[in-house]
Amino acid sequence: MGFAIGFASLPAFAEEDKSVKFPYLYLTGAAGANNPTTRTNTGEAGTFEEYTSPGASAELGLGVNFDGLRIEATYALDASQLSGYTNVRGIDFDYISGGEVRKQSAFLSGYWDIFRRKSWTPYLGAGIGYSNLDVRGFSDPGLSYEAFNRSLWGYQFKAGISADVSASSKIFAEGIYRGTSRFDTNDGFNDWNNASWSSWGAQLGIRVGL
């Protein structure tokens, strides 16, 4: 019976899709969490690994739907906090203060809605843009380290699923990988070449047709 009901509902969705005029603009907004990866940083003093606690993420922007292919311009914020590191001699330390991180990005992304004539739609996406990485000053039990701010290349990859709210509005859940180009820093003691500031994350959001 459930199958029959579902099958009977398909023409209604198909008819609803026909009523939509492509392309159309939409607003998109999402919020969720990010989990930064461990970074391996190198310098003349050696190599060390640095860890960051999970934090929050948000994204807001404007998109165009071309009936299965979408383009979005978005602003994204990833907030987290440095937690500790393993130094060049393999000794672990926890940071005891500071280390707040704000990564603000502007992305231009493309998406492919795979089964777009169903009431639910899996999709894949990728984007590139600009990221500003702002790390506040921080300290461990013996040393204090300088804050830094860097302008970097940014990129993101997404996989998600959306569900119809109306013919042109959707709710969605997505997994995200975001990263940056490598960058150099001086912590007040040594010069370091830092790995990509990357993270895995997940967001829930909505797209509203205009």
Kindly give the confidence (pLDDT) of every residue in the chain, 210 residues in length, as a single tens digit, with 9 standing for 90 and above: 343 334 333 333 333 455 788 999 999 999 999 999 999 999 999 999 999 999 999 999 999 999 989 999 999 999 999 999 999 999 999 999 999 999 999 999 999 999 876 789 999 999 999 999 999 999 998 889 989 999 999 999 999 999 999 988 999 999 999 999 999 999 888 899 999 999 999 999 999 999
Encoded amino acid at 102, one letter: R
> Are the beta carbons of 5 and 152 closer than 8 angstroms?
no
pLDDT for residue 12: 38
Tell me: cis bond preceding 23? Omega within 30 of 0 counts: yes
- Tell me the pLDDT tens digit for each residue of 41-72: 999 999 999 999 999 999 999 999 999 899 99
> Are the beta carbons of 139 and 97 closer than 8 angstroms?
yes
Angle at 39 between CA 34 and CA 42, to 5 degrees: 160
Which structural domains are found in the chain, ordered by start? 2-209 (2.40.160.20)
pLDDT for residue 18: 56
pLDDT for residue 167: 86
- Tell me the pLDDT tens digit for each residue of 101-120: 999 999 999 999 998 767 89
Tokens for 77, please give them.
């914020």
Cα separation, 42 vs 195, in Å, equals: 8
Encoded amino acid at 202, one letter: A
Write the DSSP assignment of 25-36 as a string of letters: EEEEEEEEEEEE
Residue closest to 59 by CA, chosen among 88, 91, 29, 97? 29
Write the DSSP assignment of 113-135 as a string of letters: ETTTTSSEEEEEEEEEEEEEEEE
Cα separation, 143 vs 147, in Å, equals: 13
